[in-house]
């Protein structure tokens, strides 16, 4: 893990993401890239200064953001960690994805509010879009999250398709945290599989990664979202990892589950998108 991107809006939610990034950077030696996007035309920095002054609201946003970012990046919590602060004009989603691609980031960490939290923070609907389009895994954490608690991770999937590509993307995260891993299949009436079938698929995956210590479990529930939330609570899971989009686009494990987990669960969500 060489580079971690953290979109920041200077909220408490973003602070949780920053603290998590610092924790992982100290474990892996990764560089942190803090990105704040303010509302202005994408070519704002190429506009002559005299022209910028004709739009004082954009100039005010830029100056305020640069001052805040400078204060954040100089905080003593970054001691021993290489961190760079970037302030960009434009669209949040476009700038986050562009930076992730430019710097070949291994992970994006976002602060995410839950149900009932203020919608004024940019980490909301934008987070959902980033989860569905990011070229690298995305870790979404809630306010006041303690990163040192990431000791039990569950990887939820249908185990019908080849999961090697998305799973390989989260291996560095698993190694950095040293967390135990459980492969989890949520068995529902609409997507029922007998235990031997699921066990066979999980065993095949475990054999493909002999250096990774993991176990497999099947959990019965009426629907996938509630099953994941209940399992996480009952087993004190600290991170839920899942494929955001799989190639088969099966209804059971496709659109909606990631969003539900993002807002209803207090457990961090590690999401990886398949091609």
pLDDT band for position 250 (cuts 50, 70, 90): very low
pLDDT band for position 23 (cuts 50, 70, 90): very high
Residue 113: pLDDT above 80? no
Residue 245: pLDDT above 80? no
Q: What domains can you pick out in the chain, each with its CATH number?
A: 3-141 (3.40.50.620), 150-272 (3.40.50.620)
Alpha helices in 219-270 (DSSP H): 224-234, 257-264
Spell out a b/e string for 101-140, using b for 16 or more CB atoms within 10 Å of the CB, else e: eebebbbbbbbbbeeebeeebbbbebbbebbebbebbbbb
pLDDT band for position 255 (cuts 50, 70, 90): very low
Q: Is 185 helix (H, G, I), strand (E, B) or coil?
A: strand
Length of the chain as a residue count = 275
Q: Tell me how crowded residue 265 is: count the other CB atoms within 10 A of its CB.
A: 21
- CA dist 189 → 186, 227, 260, 261 (Å): 10, 12, 19, 20
Tell me, what's the pLDDT at 98?
Answer: 94
Read off the tokens for 21.
Answer: 């990034």
Residue 241: pLDDT above 70? yes
**Residue among 53, 18, 12, 51 at smallest CA distance from 32:** 18
Task: Give me the half-sphere count of Cα atoms (radius 13 Å) on the Cβ side of residue 56.
Answer: 0
Q: Is 85 helix (H, G, I), strand (E, B) or coil?
A: strand
pLDDT band for position 149 (cuts 50, 70, 90): confident
């Amino acid at each position: 893990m060489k580079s971690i991107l953290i979109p920041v809006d200077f909220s408490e939610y973003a602070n949780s993401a920053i603290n998590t990034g610092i924790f992982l950077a100290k474990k892996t030696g990764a560089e942190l890239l803090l990105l704040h996007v303010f509302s202005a035309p994408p070519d704002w920095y190429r506009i002559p200064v005299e022209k910028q002054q004709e739009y004082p609201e954009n100039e005010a946003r830029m100056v305020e953001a640069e001052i805040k970012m400078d204060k954040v990046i100089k905080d003593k919590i970054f001691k021993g960690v290489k961190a760079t602060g970037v302030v960009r004009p434009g669209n949040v989603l476009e700038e986050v994805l562009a930076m992730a691609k430019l710097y070949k980031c291994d992970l994006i960490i976002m602060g995410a509010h839950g149900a009932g939290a203020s919608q004024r923070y940019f980490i909301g609907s934008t987070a959902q879009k980033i989860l569905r389009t990011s070229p690298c895994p995305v870790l979404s954490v809630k306010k006041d999250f303690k990163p040192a608690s990431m000791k039990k991770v569950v990887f939820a999937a249908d185990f019908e398709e080849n999961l090697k590509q998305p799973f390989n993307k989260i291996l560095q995260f698993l190694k950095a945290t040293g967390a135990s891993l459980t492969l989890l299949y949520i068995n529902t009436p609409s997507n029922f599989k007998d235990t031997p079938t699921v066990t066979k698929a999980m065993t095949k995956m475990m054999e493909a990664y002999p250096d990774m210590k993991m176990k497999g479990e099947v959990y019965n529930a009426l629907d996938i979202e509630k099953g994941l939330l209940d399992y996480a609570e009952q087993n004190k899971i600290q991170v839920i990892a899942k494929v955001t989009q799989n190639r088969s686009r099966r209804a059971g494990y496709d659109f909606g589950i990631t969003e539900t987990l993002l807002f209803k669960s207090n457990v961090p969500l590690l999401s990886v998108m398949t091609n």
